[in-house]
Amino acid sequence: MQIEITLTAPSGCGYSARDLGFLLHKHPDHLHVRDLPQGKGRMFFSSAAAEEATAVLHLEIDPVGLVRGKGEGSGMLDQYVNDRPYVVNSLMSVALGRVLGQTLAGKSKERSDLASRALPLRLRLTPLAVSGGAEIVRRLFSPLGYEIAIGTLDNSGRLEILDVSLSAEVRLSDLLTHVQVLIPVMDNATHYFVGPDEIEKLLAKGVGWLETHPEKELIVWRALRRRSELARPALDRLAEGVVEPLVHDAPQQETSAQDGEALLERPTRLHDLRLNAVRDVVVEAGARSVLDLGCGEGRLLRLMMRERQIDKITGVDPSVRTLEAAARRLNLDEAGAALRERVQLMLGSLTYADRRWGGYDAAALVEVIEHVDPPCLSALELSLFDVARPKLVIVTTPNRDYNVLFDRMAAGELRHGDHRFEWSRAEFADWAQGVAERNGYTPEIRPLGPEDETVGAPSQMALFRRAA
């Protein structure tokens, strides 16, 4: 990876382009080598005429060291086949600080006048892989007054490999600062851990341009690694004293795939509605023990815990990590014996039967069944309706008919990447009817959420009551 800095000296400008050497503190006729933690930085001038001079900073990253670390400790990467040694990324930002620290600070012993004035400069970054592509480069640098030239070097992978040049009349230290801050933003990654001290660094480097940058949310969000506990205070501080609409949420394109479903359904607050509906059914049925199958981090469990009539609440999930998160969110680790007795979490899976599931009054599967592969539905039916046989089973699942109303969804697309299917109202009713008949239950189907005349409600719920 490398960056190239070109200074031109139009006739009558009063300086020589070779003065770039003074600004960078590097003699134009020499090769400058600097050892860096992850490799070597080399700086040399590929041309150094009076009219135009180009300085090159090339980083040679040690690809084995990135994986193995130095000596005993393990490295930062798992995979040797990795673009990190080759594309411009935060390693370059760090190298800039190390190799061109004086320049970034705007200092030049011999040419301090040039250091403090805007010069016709061009900076080239190559190769560059930008999360979001060329469009993001433009959104980041155009507002800062740069003219942008973008070439595509390769487009075989998911991200294009770009060759980007930025030109402007700009102070060299400003140019380098912009680039240093925005490299990890374009790359959308850092090779180091981002903690609270990163807020200060970002705000200090952003003085004079970040406050008013129209994409500052994107910049802050990405620079602080999408950690909202860091990004929100940073944005608040940037907004102080600046008259501008207040910040709400992260920009839309920054939502990860997992958040997609929540985002789609957000206007209706559908999930809360579902949980409340399930809770109401359980309470109405007079259930005293409840099994929450696929409990996730425990939102339904929390609702159930508030109900005095329920004295046994069990959450089941296949993931150890999810259950640990649920225990934390419900404070079960610090709870007293009575609560620990009442609320229990256990590992389990819907495609296996489980002897511990016997004897419950009610079982709930809230937005779970659509994560089960269709061939495994028969195992689910057996384990739940034939072996465990709770008196009441509640199943909620998206209504596929409703998907046409989500304008951000393509036809045939599912609401979540891990959904193995989504049922139309007819399909759901059909399945429920069959399960009920085969296992001695009485089914009832209810819509969940505001109903549309033709496509129904966004979600649907089936109640199965066991024949006495």
Partner 1 sequence: MKITIPDFALVILIGPTGAGKSSFALKHFLPTEIVSSDACRAIVSDDETDQSATRDAFDLLEHTAGLRLKRRKLTVIDATSVQPRDRARWVALARRWHALPLALALDIDPELCQQRNQDRPNRQFGSHVARNQSRALRQGLKRLAREGFRQVQLMKTPEEVAALEISREPLWTDRRGEVGPFDIIGDIHGCWDELTALLDKLGYQRDPYTEGEALLSARHPEGRRAAFVGDITDRGPRNLDCLRLVMGMCAEGAGFCVMGNHDHKLARWLKGRNVKLTHGLDLTAAELEAVSESFRKQAHDFLDNLRSHAWLAGGGLVIAHAGLKEEMHGRGSGEVRSFAMFGETTGEVDEFGLPVRLDWAKAYQGKAEVIYGHTPTLEAEWLNNTLCIDTGCVFGGKLTALRWPEREVVQIPAARVYVEPKRPLGADTTRSAQQEHDRLLYFDDFAQKLRIESRFGGAILIPEENALAALEVMSRFAVDPRWLIHLPPTMAACPTAPEGPFLERPEQALAFYAKRGATTLVAEEKHMGSRALIVVCRNVAAAEKRFGTEDGKAGVVYTRTGRPFFRKEAQETELISRLRDAAYRAGLWEELNTDWLLLDTEIMPWSAKAQELLQSQYLPTAAAAKASAEALMAAIGEDGPPELAELRVAAARKGANSAALQKTINGYCWVAESLDDHLVAPFHLLAAEGAVFSDRDHSWHMQTLARLCEGDPILLATRWRVLDAEDANAQADLTAWWEAHTGVGGEGMVIKPIRFLAQGNRHFLQPAMKVRGRDYLRLIYGPDYDLPENIERLRQRNLGRKFSLAEREFKLGLEGLHRFVERAPLRRVHECALGVLGLESEPVDPRL
Residue from 12, 35, 156, 308 binding partner 1 (CB under 8 A): 156
Give the residue, chosen from 351, 389, 429, 445, that forms a contact with partner 1 under the rule CB under 8 A: 351
**Cα separation, 46 vs 6, whole angstroms:** 10
Find the binder of partner 1 among 356, 437, 444, 450 (CB under 8 A). Answer: 356
Binding of residue 153 to partner 1 (CB under 8 A): yes
Rounded Cα distance, 439 and 464, in Å: 10
Phi-psi region for residue 334, left (φ > 0), alpha (ψ -120 to 50) or beta? alpha
CB of 307 to partner 1, least distance (A): 27
Window of 177-185, 192-200, 297-305, 377-385 that interacts with partner 1 by CB under 8 A: 377-385
**In angstroms, what is the minimal distance from the CB of 42 to partner 1?**
7
Which residue from 109, 308, 355, 408 is in contact with partner 1, where contact means CB under 8 A? 355
Nearer to partner 1, 186 or 224 (CB): 186
The kind and range of the H/E element at 169 are strand 161-170
Residue with token string 């006495």: 468
In the sheet that holds 441-448, the strands lie side by side as: 343-347, 312-317, 289-293, 362-366, 392-398, 459-466, 441-448
CB of 179 to partner 1, least distance (A): 16
For the CB of residue 133, give the shortest distance to partner 1 in the complex, in Å.
13
CA distances (Å), 426 to each of 368, 378, 398, 410, 431, in order?
19, 19, 12, 21, 9
Of positions 21, 41, 63, 456, contacts partner 1 by CB under 8 A: 63
Q: For the residues of 72-118, what is the DSSP string, one character each?
A: TS--S-S-SS-STTTS--HHHHHHHHHHSHHHHTT--SS-HHHHTS-
Q: What angle do CA 428, 433, 434 make, to 5 degrees?
A: 100
CB of 80 to partner 1, least distance (A): 4
Interface with partner 1 includes 81 (CB under 8 A)? yes
Residues 52 and 63: their CA atoms lie apart, in Å, by: 34
Pull the structure tokens for residue 62. Answer: 């040690």
- The smaller minimum CB distance to partner 1, of residues 94 and 293, is found at 293
Q: For residue 58, state whether it binds partner 1 (rule: CB under 8 A).
A: yes
Rounded-to-integer distance, Cα 103 and Cα 96, Å: 9
Q: Is 62 exposed, middle or buried (0-12, 13-18, 19+ CB in 10 A)?
A: middle
Span near partner 1 by CB under 8 A; candidates 53-61, 96-104, 111-119, 326-334: 53-61
If one asks whether residue 76 binds partner 1 (CB under 8 A), the answer comes out as: no
Minimum gap (Å) between residue 5 Cβ and partner 1: 12
Q: Is 464 in the site for partner 1 (CB under 8 A)?
A: no
User: What is the Cβ-side half-sphere exposure of residue 251, based on CA atoms within 13 angstroms?
Assistant: 14
Please pick, from the candidates 82, 268, 344, 424, the single residue that binds partner 1 as defined by CB under 8 A: 82
**Binding interface with partner 1 (CB under 8 A):** 1-2, 4, 29, 31, 42, 44, 46, 54, 56, 58, 63-64, 68, 78-83, 85-87, 126-127, 129, 153-154, 156-159, 161, 163, 318-320, 347-356, 371, 375-376, 378-379, 382-383, 386-387
